[in-house]
Structure 1
Amino acid sequence: MSLDTVVEDIRDEAHARAEDIRAEGEARAEEIESAAETDAEEILESAETEVDREIEQLREQRLSSAKLEAKQKRLEARRDVLGEVRESVEDELVGLEGDSREDLTRDLLEAASVEFEAGDDVSVYGRPGDEALLESILADYDGYEYAGEYDCLGGVVVESAQSRVRVNNTFDSVLEDVWEDNLQAISNRLFEQ
């Protein structure tokens, strides 16, 4: 074989080998490109799913937050209405006059008097402005005496040093008990639940 033939064979073989390497490289490049496209599609799909999930979660959080805020505003409004009703009741109690005020005050004093022994010196306190009323009522009770003002809507605070008892039978204390005992019913009636 001549050198030219050998060179030609080597050249042909090198071309064939180069062609094989190029074909393998292109095939490998296509595989890599295809795998990269598949990965990119999966990443994109995963990102879209994650974004959709985050959007839904954010929507749920905002909806929940809005519902909670609305509920708090309703409760605030109800508290305000209940406060106004209570203030109205207190105003009515302060405004009681004549026989109604006297009858209630007598009933409260009578209820308190069962706590004291006969012969006790009993001090009775009342709302500023009820002094004359209390003194006229106390005329019917032996050992009972008007002792001064007590900051309240009306009624009496009664105490005795001998028995070391103090009874708060003010309109305020009665209202507080009635209010607490009936708050749910009042609320239900006002807000028709």
Structure 2
Amino acid sequence: MSLDTVVEDIRDEARARAEEIRSEGEERAEEIVSEAERDAEDIREEAEREAERTIQQEREQKLSSAKLEAKQERLDARRGIIEDVRDDVEAEVAAIDGDERAELTRTLLDAAAGEFEGADTVTVHGRDDDEELLSTVLEEYDGFDLGEPIECLGGVAVESEESRVRVDNTFDSVLEDVWDDNRREISARLFEE
């Protein structure tokens, strides 16, 4: 074997080894690129899922917030309607007149008078516009005097310094009791619940 043949064999072997290394390198590079592409795809998919979760959470929060706001607005509107109805009822109660007003005033005064049996002086307060009515009604009660007018829809507030008792039998207090006792039913009728 000549030196040239040995050199050529070494070169062939080196080329074959270089080709093998290059081929392994390309394979490894393809594996790395393929793995990187899979990782990139996984990262992209996870980012999309996370973005979708974030969007869904924000959507749910905004929807929940909008529902809460709508519910609050609905409650405020209902409250306003109930207040309007209450104002209308108060206006109608204040407008009661004639025999009906006299009868109601007597009934409320009779109910209060029981608390003041034995008292020498009892003061009866009522609406300024009812002064004449109250003066007439009080003629039937011994020891009952007309006091200063009070702000009310009608009826009477009765008190005695001797017993330190005050009975509020105004239309306002009666209306308040009836209103409180029937608030749920009033709401149900107004809003057909």
Q: TM-score, length-normalised on structure 2? A: 0.92
Residue 121 of structure 1 is matched in structure 2 by 121
Residue 39 of structure 2 is matched in structure 1 by 39
Cα RMSD of the aligned pairs, angstroms, is 1.7
How many aligned residue pairs are there? Answer: 193
3-state SS of 1:92 partner? helix
Q: Is the 8 A contact 1:124 1:147 kept in 2?
A: yes
Alignment-mate amino acid for residue 143 of structure 1: G
Shift of 1:47: 2.1
Q: Is the 8 A contact 2:127 2:153 kept in 1?
A: yes
In the TM superposition, what whole-angstrom CA distance separates every residue of 1:29-77 from its partner, at most 9, and x where no partner exists?
1111111111122122222222233333333333323322222222222
How far apart, CA to CA, are the structure 2 residues paired with 1:191 and 1:120?
51
How far apart, CA to CA, are the structure 2 residues paired with 1:18 and 1:128?
118
Residue 188 of structure 1 is matched in structure 2 by 188
How far apart, CA to CA, are the structure 1 residues paired with 2:135 and 2:2?
149
Alignment-mate amino acid for residue 82 of structure 1: I
Q: Does 1:62 align with 2:62?
A: yes
Residue 100 of structure 2 is matched in structure 1 by 100
Shift of 1:100: 1.1
Structure 1 moving runs of 4+ over 6 Å: none
How far apart, CA to CA, are the structure 2 residues paired with 1:119 and 1:36?
101
Q: Is the 8 A contact 2:119 2:163 kept in 1?
A: no
1:1-193 equivalence runs, <5 A = 2-193=2-193
How far apart, CA to CA, are the structure 1 residues paired with 2:64 and 2:55?
14
How far apart, CA to CA, are the structure 2 residues paired with 1:13 and 1:116?
130
Alignment-mate amino acid for residue 80 of structure 1: G
Q: Which runs of 5+ in 1 are unaligned?
A: none
How far apart, CA to CA, are the structure 2 residues paired with 1:34 and 1:120?
108
3-state SS of 1:17 partner? helix
Q: Is the 8 A contact 1:123 1:160 kept in 2?
A: yes
How far apart, CA to CA, are the structure 2 residues paired with 1:119 and 1:13?
134
Shift of 1:6: 4.2
In the TM superposition, what whole-angstrom CA distance separates every residue of 1:74-98 from its partner, at most 9, and x where no partner exists?
2222111111110001101111111
How far apart, CA to CA, are the structure 1 residues paired with 2:123 and 2:180?
29
Q: Is the 8 A contact 1:125 1:147 kept in 2?
A: yes
Alignment-mate amino acid for residue 148 of structure 1: E
